[in-house]
Each structure stands twice: as C-alpha cells, then as structure tokens.
Structure 1
C-alpha cells in the first residue's frame, strides 16, 4: 500500500498449532504458536510454520524463550557470578614482577545453587536483546570487586579484561554508562581492558571507534577478540586503535597438527607486532600448543593448560578457598577481610 507517497510491503509470518485433546492448557497452545511463528520468521518470513511436538526447530526456539524469563529473574535477584581466567605472559624478563592478567567471565547461579555456563543462556540473551543488561551487570560488579582492596589490586593486577557485546556497542547510551561507572567506582582505568569481537566492531564501526577513542583517553585499553575469522580483518585493524589481538581459537587449538593454522597464527602475530600490538592466543589447552605459540612469539596465552576459570575473588584476592575448585563445583564466595566500601 502507499501512504504519504511512500510504498510499503506487508508480510506475514504465521505459527500454526493443531488443537486436540493432547494440546494442554491455553497457555501451552499460545506458547507453542508463538514459538512456531518465530521459526517461520527465522526460515525467511512470509510463510506458515506448523507446530509439531517433535519439531526440533520449535523446541530450540521455545527453549530460548524460556531462558528469557530466567535471565530477567537472575538479573533482578543478582544471581549472576563473576569468574576469572588467568592469562599468562609467555616471555617475562628476568626479575620482572609476575602480575595478574586475566579475563572476566560470567556464570549463572540457578535455582538450586548450581553453576550454569554461558553457553546455556548467552544465545537467548543475544537473540532477545538482553546482552546490554548483562554487560552492565558485569561492568558494575567487576568494578565493585576491583575496588574492594585498591592497594592490593594496584600492586598485583596488570590487566582485567571485560567482554562487551555487539548490542552494547550499538547502544549509544552505553559509552556514557561506562564513563560514569569508571569515574564513580574509583577503579583504575589503567588495569581495564575491554574486549570486543571483530564481527561486533565491523557491524558497529562508528560507535566502536568512538568508544575506543573516548575510553583510551581515560587510560583504558582494548583487545580485539576472535581476530582472524573475518575476511576484512586486516583492513579494519589499520583503523582501530587497539592494544591487544586475541587470536581466534579455531586457529590456535589445531596449529600443532595443521600447517595452515600454524601459518595463520604466525601471520597474525607478525602483523600485530608490526603495528605494536600485543598478541594473545586463546584455547591453549595442552603443553604442545603452549610451546608452539611461545615459539611463534605470541606474547600471552590463555587456556586450560594455563588455568581454568575460577571465582574472581579467588583469582584477585587469594581468598582462602581451595584453588582446585572448578567452575562447575564453585559456590559464590564473599571476602572475609576486605571492605565493600570504596
């Protein structure tokens, strides 16, 4: 149809549910129809998708929709938990102080006080635009932990990497939130490293460039995560003022037995160093891979051969809890000696 000299096309995506004696309650039927409708949209729109009890696509979509309410409940009830995976400097100079480097990771505490990994809830959070809320929670609570004992952190922590989603990069209010949180919390900007993925940067290049410029002026640093998977990686790199490149794990984890992956790691590392950018290898899971990235000249390594993720309070403050605790077993911990006041 035409309105105000502008043509509009109308489309329809329909979820259809056959109703029978086994259909369940009205709520069940409407939920199934909603899930089927979303599947119709995912498959190209302008079509009808009929719900079947054994439909895997509908089941996956329905499962994600159930996660939405769980995520919202967890945010309201403060049941996310911060974990921290150390990153090792591979060629530390003789006498150089062994400072803490690492990446902040998020886990969920479910209704039974069990730790839930991000693979269970992040896909739903991304699909339903919940990542900015999660990012804000991570930033605020990471800053809170970093300022529990500012003197100890200043003396022992070199970098604390925090992931930012593409949805947050596209939110023009998010930069103001970050600047305000840094100033209000009293956290030292020099230890903050914000990780953004290559694909998120490409999709939000203008906002990403502005964010990087503003926060680097404050003293923060940036890492470009999952680098190397995009076709335009090196072209965009020339226009982004980043401090670290995190080599995509798909190259690193197979580099010992795959000459092409080995060459990719070499090439990315060399280009990074040519641009005076430090390099970090992800997914370093065994000694052979660790030795390979060290031989190539990569600056830092991250992976299970270095350390598994642990509660952030343990990693930063050596809270007296068994350091062998795994992320699956770990319970949230509270500091016994540090004040929560800034």
Structure 2
C-alpha cells in the first residue's frame, strides 16, 4: 500500500502542475500511509519539484483507518497541516464512528458517507443523521462534504441543511483529468 500511496501522491501533485485550472485535488491515503515516515519527505519533495502550493491538496483518510492508529494519524495530520495541506475524514458515519473522533483529529472537513445521502429525500433517519453530522462538524469548525449526490432534490436538501460541498453523479461522472476542461 505504501508504494501505491507514493505513486498516487506523485501523480496528483504532477497533475496540479500540468492542470493549473484545478483548484484542489483530494488524495485518499491508506491507513499505512499515515504511519509511513517516508511519506512526508516525498510530499515535500514533490511539492518543491513541481512548485505546487500545499493548500491545493486535501489528504483523505477513512475514519476506520484513522482510528486504527490514532497517534500516528494525529502526528501525520499535524505535519501535513504544518506544510499547508488540508486533511479530511472520509466516509464519516460508517463503521465504528464516534463524534469524539471529530474532536481528536484536526481535520478541515468531514465527508458524509454516501449511504446517508443516497436516500436523503425519502428517509427521515438519514436526514436526521446528516443534520447531526453537519451540526457537530460545524460546531468544531469543519466543512462538510456530501458524497453520492445524484439529483437536484438531494442537492437542495443538503443546501437547506447547510452542507458546504457536494459530489456525485449529479455533477458528472468520473473522467480523465485531461477531459475535465475541454
């Protein structure tokens, strides 16, 4: 996994140079990546090599992976933040999550798992959970991102709640970065 993390980071930072119209890129890391002491020097090297502003990078880690070694995760997040990179807790609300986890990691944002978003318009329990996640994240000064937004009705509900960002097929399907700005 460490080799894969290294390749993904290198490519993502390169893409930011090749495509300056990209404002930010989010990079999912493995749990091993957050405890790999060689990762930070690689990130620093690539940022310098490609002259990329670190604030254009968001590192994402799933909540369950982050909890597997909270001390290493906290240390890596602090180092990435010191560089100027952002950190996001991905897939929040799944697994063995707790709101206390949001307090323990200095994440800039929380990605609300798509399993709560997909039926948001028809499931009052999902709606209540998304509102709760939003409220707690906001109280802690974190932005929120909703995954799996697939229609305008869901987008409007999220806007009403106050969720900061949304992603999903409603906006477009995944495609190569070269095709984004054609």
TM over 0.5: yes
Deviation at 1:138, TM superposition (A): 1.2
Is 1:285 paired with 2:150? Answer: yes
Equivalent in the alignment of 2:13: 143
Is 1:233 paired with 2:98? Answer: yes
Aligned equivalents of 1:178, 1:225: Cα separation in 2? 20
Q: Deviations over 1:160-208 (max 9, x none)?
A: 1111111222323223322332233321101111111101100021111
Q: Deviations over 1:302-329 (max 9, x none)?
A: 00001211111232xx2x4xxxxxxxxx
Aligned equivalents of 1:173, 1:137: Cα separation in 2? 13
- Contact 1:160 1:193 survives alignment (8 Å): yes
How many residue pairs get matched? 182
Aligned equivalents of 1:197, 1:283: Cα separation in 2? 16
Aligned equivalents of 2:135, 2:47: Cα separation in 1? 33
Report SS of the residue matched to 2:87: strand
2:123 aligns with one of 250, 258, 267: 258
Instruction: Write the mapping of 1:322-333 to structure 2, written as runs, cut at 5 A.
Output: none
Instruction: Write the mapping of 1:69-80 to structure 2, written as runs, cut at 5 A.
Output: none
Q: Deviations over 1:103-135 (max 9, x none)?
A: xxxxxxxxxxxxxxxxxxxxxxxxxxxx22222
- Unmatched 5+ residue regions in structure 2? none
- Unmatched 5+ residue regions in structure 1? 1-130, 321-342
Equivalent in the alignment of 2:62: 197
Is 1:162 paired with 2:16? Answer: no
Which structure: larger Rg?
1
Q: State the TM-score, normalized to the length of structure 1.
A: 0.51
- Contact 1:280 1:302 survives alignment (8 Å): yes
Aligned equivalents of 1:244, 1:238: Cα separation in 2? 12
Structure ranking higher in helix proportion: 2
